[in-house]
Amino acid sequence: MGEDKLTCLPGRRMLASHVDMAYLEIPSQRRIEIDFIVWFHFRTNLGGSLVKKLAALAMSTVAAIAVTAFSANAEDFKIGLSNGWVGSEWRTQMIEEAQAAAAAWKDKGVNVEVVVQSANVDVPGQIAHVRNFINEGVDAIIINPNSPTAFDPVFAQAKEAGILVISTDAEVSSPDAVYVGIDQKAWGAAGAEWLAKALDGKGNVVAINGVAGHPANEMRVAGYREVFANYPDIKVVNEVNANWDQAQGQQAMQNLLATYPDIKGVWVQDGMAAGAWKSIIDAGKTGDIAATGEIRKDFIDLWVKDKLNSGASVNPPGVMASALNVAVLMLQGKELKEPATAGQYKNAMYLPIPFIDSSNLDEAVKQVEGKPGYYSYTSQLSIEDAEALFK
């Protein structure tokens, strides 16, 4: 029947070996309760075989608490959402869609509480987000990371604490995390392929990029460079950064037009596209330039009104909602049909990348109709879509 002795280790009390395995299955907060009960009886129970009584007491306590803990927590989850940059409405919509996705689980009898940490922080500041979530005892962390590699140690700490970690929008190198989102390199490549075809494979092109060093930006840049390398008659004459800011994108495009008046194509990301196109329109070059676009309502309206020669890869703000739905299913113990082994770090599950051009622009117009100008065309894995990915 195992050992008749009590071994004390830092942080908790280990009972006989036949108790220990059950003990380890109990959440940490419940272990504290067990430890207190054992301590109390040790102090007060003076008669009989103390160790045997302790073992019997602990076994019954573990069993009772295990049933209570798992029945109470099986469909109740707390998920931390970390966003380390708030410089665009896209990020705000990303958080809002994730919160709505959490609320939608109530119809399935699942209570998902989300805790949000969203602020302009550097990498150490976002690492602090993760540590806060670990200390709070969340079940899962979903992060839009500011670095692909800097989180490896803290993600390892989260895993050690039994916390699921999912990154979205930007991939991470940690083997202790799963990425759920689009392939940012493929996103950049899709826009570049459209632009190359729109230019019949020739002409001078400029690129207006996002935040230098951000993992999503760097993968997008790699994507368009790879595509343009296949078109020897396309020359990328300059690449600049405008930090995913519309006003900076407009100024950058104005400067580029002044320096390179023979530009035929512009590869530009996200909200900067609206600014770039405004400079193109102001310069009277709408019919002379093809440029990638974006997915916010105000730009889609401009696209239709001025009949722009544009195409847009879609990185939907719903990616965090998709990640949340996947996280809940993983927390329920379900297993993916296909393991998340894609991407450069072999830990990615890629979502489809919609593309908007003249062939389906009407569909995008319908989705954003009645929304504010900053609203982005979006898509996400519904609960049912996510369930279809699991066994």
Q: What is the distance, to the nearest Å, from the Cα of residue 159 to the centroid of all Cα atoms in its chain?
A: 17
Nearest CA among 313, 318, 314 for reference residue 224: 313
Give the CA distances from residue 378 to residues 128, 317, 371, in Å, rounded to whole numbers and listed in that order.
Answer: 30, 6, 12
In DSSP terms, 204 is beta-bridged to: 235, 263
Note the pLDDT of residue 65.
Answer: 45
Per residue in 103-119, is it b (16+ CB within 10 Å) or e — as a string? Answer: ebbeeeebebebeebbe
Fold of 76-182+317-353+378-387: Rossmann fold (3.40.50)
- At 42 the pLDDT is 40
Q: What pLDDT score was predicted for residue 87?
A: 78
Q: Which two tokens stand for residue 45?
A: 């129970």
Reading the chain (391 residues) residue by residue, the pLDDT tens digits are: 343 333 333 333 233 333 344 444 444 444 444 444 444 344 444 444 444 444 444 444 444 444 344 434 458 999 999 999 887 889 999 999 999 999 999 999 999 999 999 999 999 999 999 999 999 999 999 999 999 999 999 999 999 999 999 999 999 999 999 999 999 999 999 999 999 999 999 999 999 999 999 889 999 999 999 999 999 999 999 999 999 999 999 999 999 999 999 999 999 999 899 999 999 999 999 999 999 999 999 999 999 999 999 999 999 999 999 999 999 999 999 999 999 999 999 999 999 999 999 999 999 999 999 999 999 999 999 999 999 999 9
CATH superfamily of the 184-313 domain: Response regulator (3.40.50.2300)
Q: Which amino acid is at 137?
A: G
The confidence score (pLDDT) of residue 74 equals: 53
3-state helix, strand, coil in the chain (%, to 5): 45, 20, 35
Helices (H), the chain: 17-24, 28-44, 50-73, 89-104, 123-136, 152-160, 184-198, 215-228, 246-259, 272-282, 297-306, 319-331, 361-368, 383-387
- Tokens standing for 295? 């997915």
Give residue 48's region: left, alpha or beta (phi > 0; psi -120 to 50). left
Identity of residue 12: R
Helix 246-259 and helix 272-282, axial crossing angle in degrees, nearest 10: 40
pTM: 0.78
User: What strands, in cross-sheet order, belong to the sheet with 140-144?
Assistant: 111-118, 76-83, 140-144, 164-167, 178-181, 348-350
Q: Yes or no: say if 240 and 272 are a contact pair by the CB < 8 Å rule.
A: no
Q: pLDDT value at position 85?
A: 87
Q: Is 137 left (phi over 0), alpha (psi -120 to 50) or beta?
A: left
